[in-house]
Amino acid sequence: MSEEFSCQISPPFLSEGSDRDLGLDSTLQELPMYNFPVEINCTGREVANFLEKYPLLPGVILVEQEKFIGMISRRRLLEFLIRPYGQELFFQQPLEVLYSYARIPMLLLADTTSILIAMQLSLKRSPELLAEPIVVQTASGAYRLLDVQELNIISWQIRGIDNLVRYERSQAQMIQNDKMANLGRLVDGVAHEILDPVGFIWGNIIYVSNYSQDLLKLIAAYEKELPAASQAINQIKEEIEFDFLEQDLSRSLASIRTGAERLKKLVTSLQNFCHIDAIYPKPVDLHACIDSIILLINSRLQGEIEIVKYYGQLPPVYCFMGQLNQVLMNILSESVDTLLNEAVRQQLYLEDTNTVQKPRIEITTEVISQEANNPDAPDSRWVLIRIADNSPGMSEELQQQIMESFSLQTKTGKETSLAVSYRIITARHGGKLNLRSQLGLGTEFEILLPLV
């Protein structure tokens, strides 16, 4: 177009935006925006010619000596120009006159605003303003125009991607839950099969012990009545080392009984850990749950980690036992891994390991009261499970990462065991999971479960 304009107006410039795939965390600075500042002393005719030349331009940014004044949208400008006598009144007048009549509330956002948040703010405007473009301020202090239709299209695309990701995650979670349920049933069946022969051993070891004692009494009675045994009997007693057998038989039977008892506890703990929860929570002995988890991870302790238990008086707590066992396993495994890694590091890099304190995990349980948010409401009662270790502790950055993983808005493709534990405690049980750590002093996890 070869027209000459009395006011110097630079042609509008459309930024290309970001070339990366937009996601839930994308901001306005990644979108294409119009840069079209116009001095407020320019006439409506000059701006109208530009709007005719650039049909996609949503409006103009008004400036006075390069200072931001406001914005007039294409729609608002054309509404005033097509009114009766609108062209006579505003066509040859500077935009300052038109802006005094057409000024309306505008939505001004920083370019670091999330696209989804910008969409929400845009939809909160009154109905007559929904089609108005959004003014975006850049980090350099410049102002751009964002077409609200462009924002709508992109935000719905992002929501579609978000829904697809959520669907895929839910399907993957359903498959994983089904696998874990099948695995739990398999382990429960194997444990049941193990318990049967263990039950035979456990049930008969008492009778075998009594029978052996009776036979020894009978042999002692024979020796008393017949002190002069034949040479054949004496030879047999020497061959079987009867004196040693008499002393060691009771110890062997006691050892078998201890082994059967330990195997029975181990299989029972495995059954509890793989327990498939019912629809509703059931009363559970938390101390038994903790003991069963400690028994399962006992082989990992390697005799290097000391576990000290300070159990209080706890009533049965209504919860999903299988999920709670998973939480206890995750937290205790986290502490054990940290302590073992630190023990290895000290053995490799420290010359004097005699001064190093022994790795230690303290488990404390008690019932506590916490004031409710409503002062008129009664205090709430909670069961507290505190798991503390004397590890080197976590840095502030690592703690922040863990706390961010607890958020429901986390976008990581793979959830950590602590994040899963947080969801189980808060969402499934209405409880709380707190983390405290300090470098050089250790790490502490607190599980709070409400008492109903």
Instruction: Find, among 85, 78, 84, the residue nearest to 49 by Cα.
Output: 78
CA angle 280, 281, 282 (to 5 degrees): 120
Q: Which range is most confident: 82-96, 216-230, 280-294?
A: 280-294
Residue 232 dihedral angles phi and psi, to the nearest 5°: -65, -40
> Residue 377 — pLDDT band, cuts 50, 70, 90?
very low
Q: Which of 35-49, 112-126, 175-189, 250-264 has the lowest mean pLDDT?
A: 175-189
> Residue 332 — pLDDT band, cuts 50, 70, 90?
very high
Burial of 178 (0-12, 13-18, 19+ CB in 10 A): exposed
Helix, strand or coil, per DSSP, at residue 297: coil
In whole angstroms, what is the distance from residue 133 CA to residue 146 CA? 6
In whole angstroms, what is the distance from residue 451 CA to residue 367 CA? 9
Spatial neighbors of 30 by CB under 8 A, at least 6 apart, are 17, 18, 20, 22, 115
Instruction: Find, among 371, 393, 382, 377, the residue nearest to 446 by Cα.
Output: 382
Q: What is the pLDDT of residue 5?
A: 43
Say if CB 320 and CB 289 are below 8 A apart: no
* Mean predicted lDDT score pLDDT of the chain: 79
Spatial neighbors of 225 by CB under 8 A, at least 6 apart, are none
CA angle 14, 19, 25 (to 5 degrees): 100
Q: Is the pLDDT of residue 346 over 80?
A: no
Tokens of 278: 């019912």
Helix, strand or coil, per DSSP, at residue 336: helix
**pLDDT, tens only, 192-232:** 777 778 778 878 888 888 888 888 888 888 888 877 778 88
Say if CB 272 and CB 292 are below 8 A apart: yes
In whole angstroms, what is the distance from residue 10 CA to residue 233 CA? 122
What is the value of pTM for the model shown?
Answer: 0.53
Q: What is the pLDDT of residue 364?
A: 95
In whole angstroms, what is the distance from residue 29 CA to residue 33 CA? 8
In whole angstroms, what is the distance from residue 147 CA to residue 17 CA? 13
Rg for the chain (alpha carbons), in Å? 39
Q: What is the pLDDT of residue 158?
A: 79
Q: Which range is most confident: 20-24, 139-143, 224-228, 286-290?
A: 286-290
> Residue 90 — pLDDT band, cuts 50, 70, 90?
low
Say if CB 52 and CB 60 are below 8 A apart: no
In whole angstroms, what is the distance from residue 106 CA to residue 129 CA? 8
Q: What is the pLDDT of residue 2?
A: 38
In whole angstroms, what is the distance from residue 32 CA to residue 150 CA? 9
Q: Is the pLDDT of residue 403 over 90?
A: no
Q: Which of 39-53, 54-68, 236-250 has the lowest mean pLDDT?
A: 39-53
